[in-house]
Amino acid sequence: APGCAHLHVHSEYSLLDGACKIDKLAARAAEFGQPALGLTDHGVMNGSVELFKACKKHGVKPILGLEAYFVDDRTIREGRIERNHLTLLAENDEGFKNLTKLSSAGFLEGLHRGKPGVDMELLARYGRGVIALSGCLASRAARRIAENRLADARAHLDDLVQAFGADNVYLEIQRNG
């Protein structure tokens, strides 16, 4: 729909999850009259430059981001851990730089079973200029709500507000049928 901008989009850079080609995504957004297009691949920002160029070519505003893997402690290397999705978008140039730092730190400091983990300490360190969406059904907030653990969901959202600021945390809504 015109006026709609999809913010949680995966491309071919989301291994085993996305198959969309970035130029075709931007062309389709332009075809539908959408003003902007987000790219939030799993744990990486590999398609950011490609999205920026494709969106400029098709007259659509690029929104750069990633879907981070949120963990309680990124330094845990052994055993089973809870890993949740968290959608992060660059609000400005500082936010883009901070997202690249978050993605890199996730791989360098938080790699666990092949996935780059970020924890609240990293989010607080690199939260300036970043907009956080509560995430999809695999997010900490959504899982806690589904488990009827509303106080825990609220506590997580409060932690996000502390890391990103009250004006930069939003509830993510997806149509899931």
- Token pair listed for 56: 């400029």
CA 53 to mean position of chain CA atoms: 20
Q: Please tell me the pTM assigned to this model.
A: 0.93
Instruction: In whole angstroms, give the CA distance from residue 102 to residue 164.
Output: 13
Instruction: In whole angstroms, give the CA distance from residue 93 to residue 96.
Output: 5
Lowest average pLDDT, out of 16-20, 22-26, 102-106, 115-119, goes to 16-20
Instruction: In whole angstroms, give the CA distance from residue 162 to residue 152.
Output: 15
Confidence of residue 2 (pLDDT cuts 50, 70, 90): low
Digit-coded pLDDT (tens) for 96-147? 999 999 999 999 999 998 899 999 999 999 999 999 999 898 999 999 999 9
Confidence of residue 17 (pLDDT cuts 50, 70, 90): confident
Mean pLDDT estimate for the chain: 92
Decide if pLDDT at 6 tops 90: no
- Cα 52-138-8 angle, rounded to 5 deg: 20
- Token pair listed for 34: 């959408």
Instruction: In whole angstroms, give the CA distance from residue 104 to residue 116.
Output: 8
Instruction: In whole angstroms, give the CA distance from residue 24 to residue 133.
Output: 25
